[in-house]
Amino acid sequence: MSRFVFSADAHVNEPPRLFLDGLPEHLKNGALHATRDETFRDIRQGERILHRLRINTGGGHKRGGGNDIAARLVDMEADGIDAELIFPQLALFAYCIEDPELELESLKLYNDWVIDHFKDHLDKFVPAAVLPVRDFANTLAEFQRIVDKGYRAAMLPCVTPEGVPHYNSKEWDPIFAFAAEQEIPFCLHTGTGVADVVADRGPGAAVYNYTLQMGQALDTVTRLVAGGVLDRNPKAQVLFIECGASWLAGAAERMDEVYDAHHMFVSPKLSRKPSEVIRDQVKCSFQYDRACLMSRSVTGHEAMLWASDYPHQEGTFPNSQEVLAQLFEGTGVSEQERKDIIGGTAARLFKFKRATI
pLDDT for 108 beyond 70: yes
What value does the mean pLDDT take over residues 163-169? 98
What value does the mean pLDDT take over residues 207-222? 88
State the pLDDT confidence band at 355, using cuts at 50, 70 and 90.
Answer: very low
pLDDT attached to residue 164: 98
pLDDT attached to residue 64: 78
pLDDT for 58 beyond 70: no
> What is the number of other CB atoms lying within 10 angstroms of the CB of residue 257?
12
What value does the mean pLDDT take over residues 86-106? 97
pLDDT digits (tens, 9 = 90+) for 271-290: 999 999 999 999 999 999 99
328-to-5, 129, 254, 293, 337 alpha-carbon distances in Å: 14, 32, 26, 8, 10
What letter does residue 284 receive in the DSSP assignment? E
Using DSSP's 3-state secondary structure scheme, residue 261 falls into: helix
Q: Are 177 and 210 in contact, with CB atoms under 8 Å apart?
A: no
pLDDT attached to residue 356: 46
pLDDT attached to residue 57: 53
* Cα 52 from Cα 198, distance rounded (Å): 9
**Burial classification of residue 302, based on how many CB atoms lie within 10 Å of its CB (0-12 exposed, 13-18 middle, 19 or more buried):** middle
Instruction: Look at the chain and report how many structural domains it folds into.
Output: 1
* Cα 253 from Cα 256, distance rounded (Å): 5
User: Residue 160 maps to which CATH number?
Assistant: 3.20.20.140
- 342 vs 206 pLDDT, higher one: 342
User: Can you give the pTM of this predicted structure?
Assistant: 0.94
pLDDT attached to residue 2: 75
Residue 355 amino acid letter = A
* Cα 74 from Cα 78, distance rounded (Å): 6
pLDDT for 122 beyond 90: yes
> What is the residue range of 69's domain?
6-349
pLDDT for 59 beyond 80: no
* Cα 250 from Cα 343, distance rounded (Å): 24
State the pLDDT confidence band at 184, using cuts at 50, 70 and 90.
Answer: very high
pLDDT attached to residue 55: 78
- The residue among 218, 271, 241 whose CA lies nearest residue 349 is 241
* Cα 167 from Cα 170, distance rounded (Å): 8
Residues 6+ positions from 254 with CB-CB distance below 8 Å: none
99-to-21, 47, 95, 103, 166 alpha-carbon distances in Å: 18, 15, 10, 6, 18
* Cα 342 from Cα 357, distance rounded (Å): 11
State the pLDDT confidence band at 98, using cuts at 50, 70 and 90.
Answer: very high
118, part of any domain: yes
pLDDT attached to residue 307: 98
Continuous H helices in the chain: 18-22, 69-79, 100-117, 136-148, 173-182, 205-226, 229-232, 247-261, 274-281, 291-294, 296-299, 320-328, 335-339, 345-349
Q: What is the DSSP string of 45-62?
A: ETTEEEEEEETT-S-SS-
1, part of any domain: no
- Chain CA centroid to CA 66, Å: 17
Percent of the chain at pLDDT > 90 equals 84
Across all residues in the chain, what is the average pLDDT? 94
What value does the mean pLDDT take over residues 31-53? 91
Asked which of 51-60, 154-163, 251-260 is least confident by mean pLDDT, the reply is 51-60
119, part of any domain: yes
pLDDT attached to residue 56: 64
State the pLDDT confidence band at 354, using cuts at 50, 70 and 90.
Answer: low
pLDDT digits (tens, 9 = 90+) for 230-257: 999 999 999 999 999 999 999 999 999 9
354, part of any domain: no
355, part of any domain: no
Using DSSP's 3-state secondary structure scheme, residue 76 falls into: helix
pLDDT for 62 beyond 80: no
What value does the mean pLDDT take over residues 23-43? 94
pLDDT for 341 beyond 60: yes
357, part of any domain: no
